[in-house]
Every structure is written in structure tokens, then in C-alpha cells.
A and B are shown apart, each in its own frame.
Chain A
Amino acid sequence: MSGSLNGNSASSGGGATGAGGDDFFDQMLSSLPSPWADLANPKSPWDLTTGANAPGSGEDCGGYDESALLASRLRQHQISGSGSPAGAKPMMLHQMLMSAAGRAPGGGAGAGAGGAGDPSGFFPLPLSLGRDDVEGAFKSPNGTGAEGLFNGYGGGLPGAAQANNQPPFHHAQQGAPMPAQNFGGAAPNAGAQAPAPAASGGGAAAPPRQRVRARRGQATDPHSIAERLRRERIAERMKALQELVPNANKTDKASMLDEIIDYVKFLQLQVKVLSMSRLGGAAAVAPLVANMSSEGQGGSNGAGGSDSSLTVTEQQVAKLMEEDMGSAMQYLQGKGLCLMPISLASAISSATCHPRASASHLGGGPAAAAAHHLILPGPQAQPNSNNHVNPDGPSSPNLSGLTAQSAMANGNADSHKDASSA
């Protein structure tokens, strides 16, 4: 019996836990009662006399074929469904785990002992075959471990009921790639399909004891596991995308995808529109950027001294500003210039600051304003230029989204709206 069990764990072979399972299995076989003693569930049946119970409890040891496996599964399912502990290995195991967790002290033991006590000896074996975390759960059982085991294993612990080619059973975690290698061909699948639907009906699911433990009612063949992994990855990426994209309250995946596509299109369109309206800005930035290293751009320097005529313009603008800000702005726009605070310009040129809230400078005194402002070649004063708005009111035709924002932002010349909240 130990030989067959060893054979099982050895046959599991290819997975990384196979070798570990061997070691652990030997350990378990050598000291079977001890872990269970820790669980405060000492049982005399916990010995290696499982061979005698093999027929009684169905197929606990190796050497099972599919039909035997199915039969045992169905029987256990029925048994577990009825709640009778007799032969209900999963139930017994569950109870033992629960008791070990301190929930039902003695209850599990009683049930375990009452039922096929010998088969109960098998419980740890299949669980621990090549299962690191099951081992951990056994060694230090806690509520979650027990529940996890219970959920995963459910009734699927027909002793070591595995075909020879079936690898030992262990928990299916999300990222368990190794299970794929350990699955036989159709054998585990057949075992999985039949009990799976039956298990889902019962209180204790009975997936086949294969390398990957599936959730209740789910198949455990490698393809479906890979599929599940892939689906989960896609789902988490979709969730991340949902945070990025506004109006992400759609729960439907298809509509979420539509939303994402629309948003990407919208952003690309915005880039296009913004680039259309930035013609003057490009020219304006040039002197600033050129002077970045020299940091010589000051108010008096105006637009980096690119044009001597600018000084004349400056004087003119200063004069105008004394009279009326609006006319000054109009004059500037007629010349294709715009006014901006120095702080703003330097902020932009340093390209690290978020130029914001400098509009208060606009309201400064004329002389001070002239000193504190740069006169930059602004956007062209054309009817179709949209990147500036007269303080008097928008007089140029607007592109819908873009200038609506600009209008809102500049309509109140004293405060900048947060235009980035597009």
C-alpha cells in the first residue's frame, strides 16, 4: 500500500511538487499519527493499515481505473450528500480539519472514528501527496486553510484514489503552471467531468484528485486551467483599464471595450485638434526654450529679443494697457501676439512646473503689468485661430471641444480653470 502510494507520488513525476511529494509522502508514512496528533485528533486508525480498508472505503490506494474512480466518487458524493460519515472521507476530513482548527473539537474525531476509521487514515495522504501548501495546512491548520482545503477538495478525497498515471492531488492555485504537465490524457478529464457536475450539486464537490485543484464545479484539465488563468489576467487588465477610462461604470465587458476604444479615439482626436491650434505657441516657445540655459529671459527681454520691433510693440501695449486692458489685448492680437505672465513662461520653459494660476498677474497695474509680462508672438489673429479668446468675449469661431474649454478658462480672465479636466 505504501508502495502503491509511493508509486502514485512517483508517477506524478514531472511536476515540481512531485519530488517534494515523495519526500513528504515518506515523511507522512513514517510519522502518520504525529501531524494528526498535532491536530488534537489522535486516531489509532492513522496508520499504514490502509490496505485493509482499501476495499472497504472504495479505492483508496492506487491501482484504480476510471470506473472504480467514478464509482467511488459517486458513492462518496451520495454519502457526503446524505451527510453520513460512513465512507464520507471528505466529510471526515473536513470535520477533522475543522476540529483541528478548533472549531468542532471532537466532532470530527467522532465522525472520523465512527465512519470508516481506517479510511480516515488516508485523508492526509492524498492531500499531502506532493502538496506543499496542503502540508502546511496540515502542519498548522487554520480556518482558512481548512476551508480552502474543504472547498477545493470537497469530497474528492477517495483515499488515494487515483489511477496510476494520475498525479497526486494538490491545491490548484491561480498560478500553478506545473499541473499542465502532470495530467494524463483523457483519464483525468473523464474523471473530472463526471464528478464535477455531480459534485457541484452536492455540498462537497468531488473533483478528481489531480495536480490542480479546481474550484467547485470547474473542470481541472490543463486547457481549462490555462484558459482560466488567461481569463483572470484579462479581467485584471480590464479592471485597470476601467480605472483609466472615464465613464467606466459599465460592467459589461463588451461595452467596456467599446468605451475604451472610444476613449482612445477621443484622445487621439484631441491631440490632433490641439496640434492644429498650437501654431503660434510653437513659435512662442522657441525663444523661451532657446534661452532656457541662459535663463536670461526676463520681462524686459520680451520675446527673447527676437525682434526689435517688439520693443515698440511693448511700449504701445503698455500705453494701451493704461487705458483699457481689452484694447491692449486686441492690439496684441491684431499683431499676432499674446500676453502671458513671466512666471508662466518660465514655468513652461522649465517644463517641470504646472503653469497655473498666474492669471492674477493680468490684473496688475499697467506699468507693473508691462514689466511683468512677456509679449510673445501669440496665435495668429485669424478667424480660425482658436487658441486665444478675447477677454471681451469669444469673437472667433470655435472648435467645439477645444475652445469651449478655452473660453471657459479665459472668459474669467482672473482665474484659470483647470483645463486639464477635460
Chain B
Amino acid sequence: MASSGFQADVKALQKHLAARHLIYQHQHNKQMSCPAMAQLLSNTLYYKRFFPYYSFNVLGGLDNEGKGCVFTYDAVGSYEKVGYSSQGSGSTLIMPFLDNQLKSPSPLLLPAQDAVTPLAEAEAIDLVKTVFASASERDIYTGDKLEIVVINADGIRREYMDLRKD
């Protein structure tokens, strides 16, 4: 889960979800799938509807079949499964670029069109680095350092990159 906003609420939310994940693992003897965690996050956010978590989240992971999924949230818990998303102060800069590079057809279209972007992992990481480098140029709040988390069947891998420090 990647979150932007008020850091204390972000921390509290992450701790809350980690605890619920642990409980789930104890009760069901397996990892939570991403769609399950997605609904849990939505409910967690909505339970603070009248005193919200100031946290704008994007959730990424694998579903029960091992396919990747991304969920995007607003501060009070409305969520949507998407092909890509961005949140935070630089999102208005990043989203149009992602729309251009990754335009995946809307899941609402009928007859349905396949929504998987045909990108190799290396290309995808390159895209993320480009996107954040550009966002750092034009958004004062974006910069310093970038952490990329790659999740696939082999596990989780983290990569770091330095961004503009001004």
C-alpha cells in the first residue's frame, strides 16, 4: 500500500491493516488476497467517515489467481479496481502521462476489453522512474527519494532511486 497525506494517519492506518492481516493469517491459515485487503481498507477508511484518516492510498498486490491488481482510494474509502493510478500532490501531473502511455480500456465497457497493459517488468520500472523524475521537476512536494516495490509470483523486491533534493 502506498499512501500520501498526513503521515501520522498513514502510519496509524498501515499499523491497523498489518494487525488485521496478521489476524486473518491466524484465522484462515493463508495470506490475504489483494481484493480482500482492498475491501478491508475501504471499510477501515469508512469507519472513520466523520473523523477521516487524511490518507490517499493506492493498493497493489496479487489476487487469488496470482494476477496483479491495483486499487485506488479516496480519503473516506471509496475504491475502484484500476490498471494504474496515482495519488498525492503530484497525481495531477502523473495521471495524464500514465493515461497516455498505459491507457487501459474502461472495465465498464461491454463487450469487455482486456485491461492488462503489455509491459515488460524492466519497461514498467523505467516508466515509474521517468514519471517520478518528471513529477519532481514540477511539484515542490515530490522529490528526495523514490522507493519502487515490485510484486510478482517470485515474491517482493524493492528498488530505490534518488530524486531531486531541492
A binds B: no
Chain B residues at the A interface, C-beta cutoff of 8 Å: none
Chain A residues at the B interface, C-beta cutoff of 8 Å: none
